[in-house]
Structure formats: C-alpha cells, structure tokens
A and B are shown apart, each in its own frame.
Chain A
Amino acid sequence: MDLVSKIDVQELNFFYGSKQALKDISIICPEKRVTAIIGPSGCGKSTFIRTLNRMNDVVAGTRVEGKILIDDQDILAPGVNVVQLRRSVGMVFQKPNPFPKSIFDNVAYGLRINGLRDRQRIPEIVERSLRQAALWEEVKDRLRDNAFSLSGGQQQRLCIARALAVKPEIILFDEPCSAIDPIATAKIEELIFALKEQYSVVIVTHNMQQAARVSDFTAFLMMGELVEFDRTDKIFTNPSNKLTEEYVTGRFG
C-alpha cells in the first residue's frame, strides 16, 4: 500500500530560552501508520511530540522555527486555531490522567465542551469510543462509577477513549505505558496496533522494544538531532547509522 504523508515536519528547531532542544528535525509521519520516536533521556522526544499539537505553547520562554505540515497546512503558522488543532491531534500522556468524574463523563467531556448536546448521540459516541479503546466490555455495567475506581491500565485506555471521542485524525502517545504493568502494556500495544486502521499514530517511548513491536517507522533522536529515520524493521535489524546501532543494541543510552 502506498504511503501518504500525514505530518510533514520540515527543519524544526525548538528553544527553551537560549537552550536549543531540537535541531533541524525533518520527518514525515505517514498516514495510518505508527511512527515511533526513540532516544536516550533528554534527547528531545517529548519536546518533539509536543510540538505536533502545540502543547509547548503553554511553556513560557519557548520558541519554535520551521514548518509542521498536517495535511499540507502549517500548524505553526500564525492564525492557526489551536483548539481545533488539538481536537484533530489528540494526545495520551505518560500517567493516566482521567478527570475526577464518572467513566461516562470522562469520554463525553470533549463532546460537551465542543457543543454537542444530543442526548442520543452522546451515549452512542461514548460506547463507540470505549469499544475502540478495548475498554467497553470491562466498564459497560459501571459507566457511572468514578474513573479513579479503574486500574491504571484501564484508566489509560479510558484516556485513549476520551481522545478518540472527538474524532481526531492523529493520536500522539507520550510514553503511554511507562506507568502501567506489563499485561496492561500488552493491551495498550494491541490497541495501538488496531488504531492505525483509522488513525495516524506517533508514539514517544523510552522502551525500545515497544517501538520495535508497535511501530512501522522509527525515528532515533539524540541530543536534539535526528540521527536516523527509517522503517522500523530496518532500524532494528540493519540500521544505517553506527550511533543507531549502538543505541538499539544497548551499547549506550
């Protein structure tokens, strides 16, 4: 199947004050594929993924240069509606962060603040989102329970359902499994694999094996620079760059 560019990052530079965190990064994340960003701590992975829905805007003293084209529109350009951007580029964070509300209301929240009031549509979308997040069967009889009554892995899938409810096109995962156990991790990984049928996914992970398992493309960053970007099987069986080879074989990092 031919690949279509979903996110086209061109010569991206990012600064925290005078410190440069990303240097001339150019990557194309294809549509309906999983792109993983790997690299040692502090290499700029999280900074990078946060530029994709402008989450860094809220950090004072930051500056960004370059272009990020999503469906050919530069999301860094002035006048971009950031709220709309974040609706189409959903994000799931390291620690599950459900709202202190019921399971149902967590998923319905995004719909309501986006103005949906339809009493029939909301439950439909909530169910659909929970099914897509592979959580429906576990929670369908307790939708009114508080979200904090769920296990960590379930809470994380709830956050995924919440992101899916507003029909994003891209989902960003920032270390989605680092706070949950291996069985729950395996479930999230299966879920990510299923999500790429409909969504374009970018995942940051410090777990190299996870990148190998779930992604189609992998970018290796080091000290804010892109060292190598290629198909995941190439990166993990025969990388072109010596630094990548040393990192994926555990010789440093």
Chain B
Amino acid sequence: MERHFDEELKEVKEKLLRMAALVEESIAQSIQGLKEEREDLPREVLRREDEVNSLDVEVDGLGLKLLALNQPMAIDLRFISVVLRIGRDLERMGDLAVNIAERTLDIIRFPRLKPLIDIPRMADAAQKMVRDSLTAFIEKDADLARDICRRDDDVDQLNDQVFRELLTYMMQDPSSISRAVDLILVSRNLERIADHATNIAEDVIYFVEGRTIKHHCEGGLRKNPS
C-alpha cells in the first residue's frame, strides 16, 4: 500500500542530502584553498555556514514532527532517528570545515612552512569516508559502512604522523610554531571529520540491520558476532 508518510520521509531525506552536499563542498573547498593558497574558496565556506545551519534546523524540525505525528515503527523509526543523528554529524562537519577555512586564511598569509604531503592525503581519505558514508546511507549498504569504520584508523595514523613531523619543525625553529600549530589544527579538524563520517557509518549499520556497533557493541565490526 502506498503511504503518504513515504512522501514525507522522502522530503526529510532530500533535505538531509542537500545539507550533505553543501557540507561536502565546504570540506573540499577549505582544503583546496589551503593547497592552492586561494583566499576565495575559504571565504565561500564561511559564507555557506548559515545555509547549512538552517538546513540542520529544518531537518531537526521535520524529523521531530514525523516522530510526533506518525508514530513510526521498525525501519521507519530507525530511519528517522538515524536522519536526526546524521543531521547532527553533518552540522558538526560543516563547523569543522569552517575551522579549516579559518586556519587556511591564516596560513596562506605567510610563506609555506613545508610542502603539504600528508594533509592532502588525509583530506582525500576523510572526504572519501564522508562521501562513502552518505552513499552507504542512500544505498542501505552496511558492508560499505563497515569498511568506513575500519578506515578511520588510517586517518588517525596520518593525524599522528602530521603531528610528529610538525613537532620536529617547531623544536628546530620556534619561529615556525604559529604556522605549524595552524597545520596541526587543520589536521585535527580533518581527523574529526573522519570521526563524524564513522558515526554516520555506524548509524547506517543500525538503520539497515538494527544493530548497534558503536563502542564495539555486539561484536563491533564483525558481521556475525559469535
């Protein structure tokens, strides 16, 4: 039977995906601005923040309304609860992209401390995680979601690596400290973006399978816990 409720579910999903597209664009531009030493891109990220925030409020309001008025059950209930959580993660990712954009505006005012190698790699990995987490949500693909959870460790390692390397610069030359700290902050913001992508992936697994895997509950990443 067709349900008008399905139309409403579609509407909230479309809003969420619109928000996701904006956040992905912000992450990409904040990093591209850093790589290409461009001021226009991070400025655009700052301008976009309001739009992301108002979509966040809309998704929240719509999700709550659907819960209150339709008493959803089973997969409908999981879907709405997951949409609300993904909305929150996306909103945080948007904030982190703004942080990176602000750091970028600072960094490009000074001569480059060192060639960027690990940060772009991290950015690629984190962006791919974000993209895949949303694909997993759209496609209801729990296997892809599990893969994202595993990839989070790679980004964490790159973050440690960036930190150690920049530490050596700072020890050698205290005048490099402010530039190095900015890069460390960029790296940490990317690491957190990957964490939020991981949260989304965990939510997708809950949505699809009804199982909670965060904090390694129910056997964590194993598909069939024994």
Contact = CB atoms under 8 A, between A and B. Distances in A.
Interface of A: 186-187, 190, 193-194, 209, 212-213, 232-233, 236-237
Interface SS, B side: helix
A26 B71 CA distance: 30
B70 A212 contact: yes
Contacts of B3: 186, 190
B117 interface: no
Interface of B: 1-5, 64-65, 68-71
Nearest to A209: B71
B68 A212 contact: yes
Nearest to B71: A209
A190 B69 contact: no
Contacts of B1: 186-187, 190
Q: Which of B3, B4, B69, B70 has the most CB of A within 10 A?
A: B69
Nearest to B65: A233
Interface SS, A side: helix
A236 B4 contact: no
A187 B65 CA distance: 22
Contacts of B71: 209, 212-213
A213 B3 CA distance: 11
Kindly list the 9 A-B residue pairs having the minimum CB-CB distance in the complex, ordered from nearest: A212-B69, A236-B68, A237-B68, A193-B4, A233-B65, A209-B71, A213-B70, A236-B69, A213-B69
A213 B1 CA distance: 16
B69 A233 contact: yes
A202 to B, nearest CB: 18
B3 to A, nearest CB: 7
Nearest to A212: B69
Contact of A237 (B4, B5, B64, B70): B64
6 contacts: A186-B1, A186-B3, A190-B1, A190-B2, A236-B69, A237-B64
A213 B4 CA distance: 10
Contacts of A233: 65, 68-69
A194 B5 CA distance: 12
B226 to A, nearest CB: 38
Given A190-B3, A212-B71, A233-B65, 10 more contacts: A190-B2, A212-B69, A212-B70, A213-B5, A213-B71, A232-B69, A233-B69, A236-B69, A237-B65, A237-B68
